[in-house]
Structure 1
Amino acid sequence: MDGRAHNIPAVLRLLLGFVVLSTVAGLLLAGLAVPAIGATGQAAKSGVDFFNDLPSDFTVSPLAQQSKILDAQGQLIANPYDENRIIVPLKKISPAMQNAQIAIEDARFREHGGLDLRGFTRAVVSNAQGGDVQGASTLTQQYVKITLQENALRRGDKAAAEAATKKSYARKLQELKYAVNVEENYTKDQILEGYLNLVYYGDQAYGVEAAALNYFGVHASRLNVGQAALLAGIVQQPTAYNPLLNPDQAQARRDVVLTRMQQLGFASAKDVAAAKKIPVPKMIKKQPVKGVCHRSSQPYFCAYVMAYLQNSPQMAVLGKTPEARLKRINQGGLTIRTTLNPTMQKDAQTEIERAVPVNNKSNLGGAISVVEPGTGKILAMVQASDFEKTQTNLNVDKVYGGGPYGYQFGSTAKVFGLVTALEQGMPLDGKIYVPFATAKKEYVFKSDKVVGAPCGADKPWGVTNDYAIGGRQMSLGEGIGKSINTWAAQLTIDVGPCNVLDTMKKMGVHMANGQDIYRSISNATLGSGTTTPLDLASAYATLAAGGKHCEPSPIASITTPDRKAITFPAAKCTQVISADTANAASYLLKGTFRSGGTAQGTWNVDARPAAGKTGTTEKHNQGWFVGYTPQLATAVWIGNVQVADKNGTLYSLNGKCFGDYGCFREVFGGTVSAPVWAATMKKLSEGMPVKDFPAPSEKARRGNLVDIPNVYARSVSSATRILQDAGFSAQVVGYISSNAPNGTVAGTSPSGSAPQGATIGLLLSSGSGQASAAQAPQQPQPQPTTAKPGRTKKPPPPNK
């Protein structure tokens, strides 16, 4: 009697199983919406009612919700995802793999309508007798279960994920009803494709393409019979049959699959026998797991876009936190169209690699950013490095995947002093007195406008030139075209270094860590601070756009799976300098390409107008060229990736070789960076109409000038008082030969007129000889006045 009592639950389970089987069979025969014919009794009626009340509409695949990042022409850049998964169409999965999975999971897959009655009957009896709900799932049912689980996990609904795999008749019936719905609405090939892309193959590989690459280093289209059998066998127990963790169990399982394939006619006896002879460890060629952007055709831009979507204030519409945004990107089925022009991207990549070979042994790096003036659209972003070895994007800020600071930008900074001077009203042909200096003999600026001043220096500031020049009046055009350091230093002092740094900030330049350029006169004048190519391209685009600065953005549009546009703020564009100033600056910056300019001969400015500036940093550590046409603004950086050795000694570009461009004893911004810019811009501009910048207005040409009072032969104190009464400030800037009494004012810089509020440089008379100690003022350092601009046996090299 005790034995019978113990068997009562098993008997009840068996009876219930047959009721369920009868119910399901009747439902399938009579249709899902009507009671089963022949089902009798309250249990059957309850089962029918329960089944009919279950939901039936099923969304096939969470894979359809993967997002897409596209370039401007709609070509795929990347598919963001949470898991190591690569979606491929069925035609790119080998027939051997398709057959292997069907053979071991659902041999009658091509014949049934979602339920295999033969297998289901066997399982019901087995489960009723043994107490466990197991087996009998068709491939379609498995697909339903995995999809439900995946969807729940992506929603963060752990309870629903557990319910999707719970061992119960209720769950099985729901799974079955969904499976029938799937079979009614999708073809067998669609179901098989979804399954093979969705199922987990162990070792963090989801879907057959990722698994094939992970274990064998081949695409799913190339899987042979043995490889296919090994993968197909993993699905049932991904850990137990993981060939990396348990090769013996995996091999035994593989052989079971191979045998089954032979029995079903999916593989020949010869092929099966050959496959079984190969030990599993010898089959494995483990590949490193690659992330989303490692698989991208444009990995650096891909990584930048992913970081931008997560961190840019402009993308707040995607979520309140980076984590929330990433979840939506990975799971939301978004179509993210970027601004990247694939043709420009390819051309820019080709040109930078011509100068800086990828994986070179010379510590050389190169990067190019291209921005559209007036919109901020990023049209190209490339660099000469291997994403597999370094993921640092040299073009962008740290928050978007760049380095912590960027690189010193050298004389590209002189543009901001020029713009400040023009904005303050200095005329287009304005001149200032430029102190004399050589490459070895510096001029030391000591005035209170420098030492201890806001944005100044904490000690006297010495400045050299790349060759002997100065000791005379020099125009804005000559100073910027030849990139004379003492000209830039004096100009910065005249207009105020704080003002120059403010201009720099307004035009979009900051350090890669997001902080402002440190407020010192050296940073304002000579680019001793650090920034990125994208910042400089964006800043110079401001001039091309008539003084309007637009924050750079890589995103053109974002749409949902149902093609509804997600509205987000457009790139912020602000008029930061006047159009008069921008046009005047562009006019002067054309001189960089003309005779005597630091990029002379690299670009025919008359054939296609362009403006730009070279940049070379201390010890020839980095080389730059930033230039623009009315349609494109492009920054080229070529420099030492590692800036200094462990002792802090700066590396130099001098003596290095630059691919197709050759080797150079001395390297300036005009040596390689400018030619690379020209070659790149020539390709990028093909097919574009030739446009010129608007001519400087009469107001810009005249400036906002006020007559300077005559202070000839006045003492320094008297001249200073007179100038201050007229609304100017004054400082001693040097000595000149003059008939004026020794130590008195012999001239001013500028002379005649100057912008209201400008600093007027006082040039003191040295009489017939040097000033005596009693006569000499404390601040200026006497300089030769008879020295002529230095000449070498060849034209002066490109400047900083």
Structure 2
Amino acid sequence: MNSSSISKFLFWLIVSVFSGTSLLISAVYLYLTPQLPDIQSLTQIELQIPLRIYTEDGQLISEFGEQRRRPLEYNEIPQQFVHALIAAEDDRFFQHNGVDLKGLTRAAIQLVRTGKKKSGGSTITMQVAKNYYLSSAKTFSRKFTEILLALKIEQELSKEEILELYLNKIYLGKRAYGVEAAAQVYYGVSLSELKLAQLAMLAGLPQAPSAANPINNPRRAKERRNYVLARMHTLGFIDQQQFDDAAKSTIIARYHGLKSEVEGSYIAEMVRHELYQKYGEDTYRLGFRVTTTLNSKAQTQANNALQTGLLKYDRDHGLRTQPNQKLLSPTKLQIYDNEITLTWPTELDDKQDIDWPKTLDDWQEELNSRGQYGLIHPAIVAQVLDSGAWIVSGRKQWSWLPFSGVKWAKPYISVNRVGREPTKTSDVLSQGQIIWVTASAESGLQLAQIPEAEGALISIDPSQGAIRALVGGFSYGLNKYNRATQADRQPGSAFKPFIYSAALANGLTPASIINDAPVVFKDAGLENTWRPENSSGKFYGPTRLREALYKSQNLVSIRILKQIGPRKAINYISPFGFPREKLSKDLSLALGASAVTPLELATGYTVLANGGFQIKPYFIDRIEVGSEEELVFQANPMQACLECTATAENSSQVNDAQSPQDENQALLDAISAPLSEALSAEAVASEAPAVRRLAPRIMDERTHFIMNNMLQDVIKRGTGRRALALNRNDLAGKTGTTNDQKDAWFSGYNRDLVTSVWMGFDQPRSLGRWAFGGNTALPVWVDYMGAMLADKKHNPFPQPDGIVNVRIDPETGLLARPGQKNAIFELFKQEQIPARDSSKQGTAEHNNDDDEEENSPELLF
């Protein structure tokens, strides 16, 4: 075959190959084009955004969702980062039309030479097409579809829009999707706050986000970062000086977990549960932004107050020995490295043959595995001296723990006994021991231990039910059980205000005389005969109602309930927020034997704090969804309003003896309606202003005023006297302690805030013979309320019409004689002013007890 024939053959071969390729491409184009999606749908795609929960004042509480993402608009992205990205990924991005022919050619040559697909020649636009529409399968058909989509995207979207889509979608390791989330994960700040070296580090991550990020592989990540910087220098984005400075910088990236600005994990879980009931798995991807009713100051103070109280209780009962407590042996030096220069605390014994660099590295791993729980954090004892100990805590931080912070650690023997006080630090601590420590402004650094006793605190705005603070235990990280909403515990005497309120509504007065004497109660439902007694074990004889309340005399409460009847009392009490089925149907109700949650008890006290109105506590104020934060729910709670003119609806629902019981019963429902019900079509927010909803009155205003005044006496002269430290004239409340000191309570309020505190063990057992509501729960309440009311004006209730203040004989409860020296003033409803002759006072139970011996038990059936 001559040369002419060969030329013709090659020519037609090339033409055939070209034609065949063209036909193949045309066929593929015609086949795939109809299947391509509408590019405009890219602008409507909702990226997976986690559920985020905030306080009312905008502080982040928690985030739920597998993909951490914070979308940015293009104008929020630093230009230097854009340069770093295109230098690393696609340096001709602003010139090509979506497909880089040079890159594709290079990828094809590599495939021919090696037989393997080493690179796909993808542009940023092609990656957008893949990330939003296609799978990651490495097939030729997917590649052709990717190319066609890229061309179509470039025709319909601007370069800036394409980059915005890419940067918000791309995975960059450590659950971070999008560049803003990556900046937060690796550096703990926004993308706009990063320096050149850090921006280049992030720009290099798309190539291998899991294997080459600066946390998993710092060396490889640094090499990739410097490659990006070199490309930026080559392309003229940075000068030589910028390159040199950035390339020399050390890697400071570390994992920054979710940075909650306020610790509110218990209520965050309540929010998550409510949304999940409605939306299922969409809860974690639609980008819900939930604003709760929590106040960040209140929540922080509640956390600190409860933890402080539990730690104090724990210290008072001694240091529990831990047989399996871990001791780490410091590593001995084998070879000294004279080039290492370290600065240790001056008192540290440098004669010990310890390789401190190696030791601290080992200890740091141990400390990292322990975590931190609010006010306490782990540490390891480095050296023990008579005057204290050197300890090492997080990030190899040295601290001095003085002996004064260890001196409390008497050995725990039982809940009522502790051993001898230690005389030197080594009586308690050993080198290498893992311990817990806490710090306070008053006491400095102190040894601590994770408390066994638990507690709960809930604080509510009584005017409309917003929960301002909720703490369900010492630490959510240790135990997720929410005692504030899930723990049914007997409230003891903290329940008595509701019994006394029922008594005042049914004819008794603060001056009614009730005999404090032994009783015996027999009931077929009880295994043994019930012989209730006062906590002091004494009996006080005829006692005024007011005095019996602030002294918390149990036997008076029982006789009051006997007189008005358990059924009538339950009808009166249940609208306060207590589920009817939880209330005992017998006289044990008078002593708080009906188990309720701290939330339910606090709800009851809101009626006393707001002037007698029924409100329902709630914890979600509004819900927004999506990147546009569309409002889908806005709470519109009922408002207690003393100043408002009583409507027919309100006045018809006054919960006093004269009110129809069927109307009271109609008020009963769940304490907090599920959000799944609230998010109905009727509840979705609209542009129309919400109609103000007035809460129904369930307590006569005069009954309320007298009851509130009696509860103020609990603080002024009764079991709540520790609250006098707040120096306020508008506080009222009641302590509660159950049998064998298994539960300690204090619930108290002013018109601005209701707070209930409970302390006890999860598996009920005694807190100790000296643990009562007044010295265990009340100090926590004082700590919290003192901070919350510090800048609030005193806000007493105005005296309503129909209340009179008259002088009475404190022994008989009747009107005082003229000139009687021991007479006292007492409040009465105008129509209940007592007479001077005892025969005219028919509502007091003492008439039934005149013939009874003071210490002779009365048999109650």
Report how far residue 678 of structure 1 moved: 3.3
Give the letter aligned to residue 429 of structure 1: A
Aligned residues of 1:97 and 1:223 also touching (Cα < 8 A) = no
What does residue 423 of structure 1 align with? 505
Alpha-carbon distance in 1 for matches of 2:709, 2:247: 79
SS at match of 1:345: helix
From 296, 302, 316, the equivalent of 1:342 is 296
**Does residue 619 of the first structure (1) align with residue 594 of the second (2)?**
no
Q: Is 1:473 equivalent to 2:436 in the alignment?
A: no
For 1:52-71, what aligned pairs fall within 5 Å after superposition? 55-56=39-40, 58-59=42-43, 62-63=46-47, 68-71=52-55
How many Å separate the matches in 1 of 2:858 and 2:711?
A: 37
Pairwise CA distance, 1:540? 0.2
Sort the Cα spacing of 1:229 and 1:577 in 2 relative to 1 into closer, same or farther, 3 A: same
SS in 2 for 1:265: helix
The answer for the alignment partner of 1:300 in structure 2 is 264
Counterpart amino acid of residue 712 in structure 2: K
2:22 is matched with 15
Matching of residue 451 in structure 1 with residue 516 in structure 2? no
- Give the one of 346, 359, 363 matched to 2:452: 363
- SS in structure 1 at match of 2:503: helix
Alignment correspondent of 1:137? 122
8 Å Cα contact 1:114-1:183 kept in structure 2: no
Is 1:73 aligned to 2:177, yes or no?
no
Matched, 1:372 2:454: no
Query: C-alpha distance in 2, partners of 1:367/1:507?
Result: 20
**Residue 119 of structure 1: aligned partner:** 103
Q: Distance in 2 between matches of 1:686 and 1:238?
A: 51
Paired position in structure 1 for 2:557: 488
- Secondary structure of the equivalent of 2:797? coil
CA contact (8 A) 2:90 2:123 kept: yes
TM-score by length of 1: 0.63
- The letter of the residue matching 2:607 is T
What corresponds to 1:325 in structure 2? 279
User: What is the letter of the counterpart of residue 342 of structure 1?
Assistant: S
1:497 offset after TM fit, Å? Answer: 3.5
Query: Equivalent residue of 1:59, what SS?
Result: helix
CA spacing shift, 1:179–1:498, aligned 2, 3 Å: farther
| SS of the residue 1:630 aligns to | coil
The counterpart of 1:599, out of the listed 720, 730, 736, is: 720
The change in CA–CA distance for 1:12 and 1:631 in structure 2 (over 3 A counts) is farther
Instruction: Return the alpha-carbon distance in structure 1 between the equivalents of residues 475 and 794 of structure 2.
Output: 36
Q: CA deviation at 1:340?
A: 1.9
1:488, distance to aligned residue in structure 2 (A) = 1.9
The 2-side partners of 1:147 and 1:108 are apart by 22
Verify the 8 A CA contact 1:653 1:667 in the aligned structure 2.
yes
The 1:180/1:382 distance shift into structure 2, 3 A limit, reads farther
The question of 1:173 aligning with 2:238 is answered no
Q: How far does residue 458 in structure 1 lie from its aligned partner after superposition?
A: 4.7
- Give yes or no for contact 1:299–1:387 (8 Å, CA) kept in 2: no
The one-character-per-residue Cα deviations of 1:107-165 (angstroms, maximum 9, x if unpaired) are 3346656554533565688899999997233224424542457xxxxxxxxxx999999
TM-superposed CA distance for 1:626, in Å, is 0.9
Following superposition of structure 1 onto structure 2, how do residues 681-720 of structure 1 map, counting pairs within 5 Å? 681-695=785-799, 698=802
Alpha carbons 1:133, 1:169 under 8 Å: kept: no
- 8 Å CA contact 2:608–2:704 kept in 1: the answer is yes
Query: 1:591-629 CA distances to partner (integer Å, 9 max, x unpaired)?
Result: 11122x111252389953222111123333332211111
- Give 1:252 deviation, angstroms: 7.3
Q: Does the 8 A contact of 1:145 with 1:164 survive in 2?
A: no
TM-score scaled to structure 2, two decimals? Answer: 0.59
SS of 1:462's partner is coil
Report matched runs for 1:149-168 at 5 Å: 167-168=142-143
Are positions 1:265 and 2:265 aligned together? no
In the TM superposition, what whole-angstrom CA distance separates every residue of 1:538-565 from its partner, at most 9, and x where no partner exists? 2101122232222211122234455654
Q: Which residue of 2 aligns with 1:668?
A: 772
Mapped partners of 1:211, 1:127: distance in 2: 33
Aligned-partner residue type, residue 170 of structure 2: V
- Give how far 1:409 is off: 2.3
Which residue pairs with 1:543 in the alignment? 608
Distance 1:167 1:565, change over 3 A: same
Contact 1:56 1:177 in 2 (8 A): no
- Kindly state the Cα deviation for residue 527 of structure 1 after the two structures are TM-superposed: 2.8
How far, CA to CA, are the matches of 1:126 and 1:10 in structure 2? 21
- Percent identity between the aligned chains? 24
Q: Which amino acid aligns with 1:586?
A: N
CA distance in structure 1 between the aligned counterparts of 2:79 and 2:851, rounded to whole angstroms: 92
Distance 1:66 1:239, change over 3 A: closer
Question: How far did 1:339 drift?
Answer: 1.8
User: 1:15 corresponds to which letter in structure 2?
Assistant: S
Residue aligning to 1:508: 577
Show CA shifts across 1:364-403 (max 9, x none).
Answer: 4443221111311112224673443333333223xxxxxx
SS at match of 1:15: helix
> Unaligned 5+ residue runs, structure 2?
1-10, 312-374, 377-447, 639-694, 807-837
Q: How many residues align?
A: 621
**1:754–1:256 distance in 2 versus 1, CA, 3 Å:** closer
Q: Tell me, what secondary structure is at the counterpart of 2:42? A: coil
- Higher mean C-alpha deviation, range 91-100 or range 163-172: 91-100
Number of the residue aligned with 1:199: 170
Aligned to 2:809: none
Distance of 2:100 and 2:58 partners within structure 1: 43
User: Cα–Cα, structure 1 residues 330 and 430, in superposed 2: closer, same or farther, change >3 Å?
Assistant: same
Q: CA deviation at 1:478?
A: 0.8
CA contact (8 A) 2:48 2:285 kept: no
Show CA shifts across 1:207-233 (max 9, x none).
46766887x787687999999888767
Residue 396 of structure 1: SS of its match in structure 2?
helix
Q: Which residue of 2 aligns with 1:554?
A: 619
Does the 8 A contact of 2:62 with 2:260 survive in 1?
yes
Q: CA deviation at 1:763?
A: 5.0
**Relative to 1, partners in 2 of residues 1:612 and 1:121: Cα closer, same or farther, differing over 3 Å?**
same
Structure 1 segment 728-743 matched on structure 2, within 5 A: none
The residue aligned with 1:652 is: 767
Amino acid at match of 1:581: T
CA distance in 2, matches of 1:616, 1:56: 66
Letter of the structure 2 residue corresponding to residue 681 of structure 1: M
* Mean Cα deviation higher: 259-268 or 671-680: 259-268
CA 621–54 in structure 1, closer or farther in 2 if over 3 Å, else same:
closer
Deviations 1:411-466 (A, max 9, x none): 1111221122123232342222221xxxxxxx4523xxx523xxx74532122323
Paired residue secondary structure (1:566): strand
CA distances 1:8-45 after superposition (whole Å, capped 9, x unpaired)? 9986774268779xxxxxxxxxxxxxxxxxxxxxx99x
**Aligned equivalent of 1:524, options 576, 589, 592:** 589
Counterpart of 1:640, as a letter, is G
Secondary structure of the structure 1 residue equivalent to 2:485:
coil
CA contact under 8 A between 1:481 and 1:598: conserved in structure 2?
yes
Q: Counterparts of 1:780 and 1:378 in 2: how far apart (Å)?
A: 41
> Corresponding residue for 1:779?
859
Partner SS state of residue 754, structure 1: coil
Cα separation, partners in 2 of 1:98 and 1:379, compared to 1, 3 Å? same
Find 1:754's aligned residue among 817, 838, 843.
843
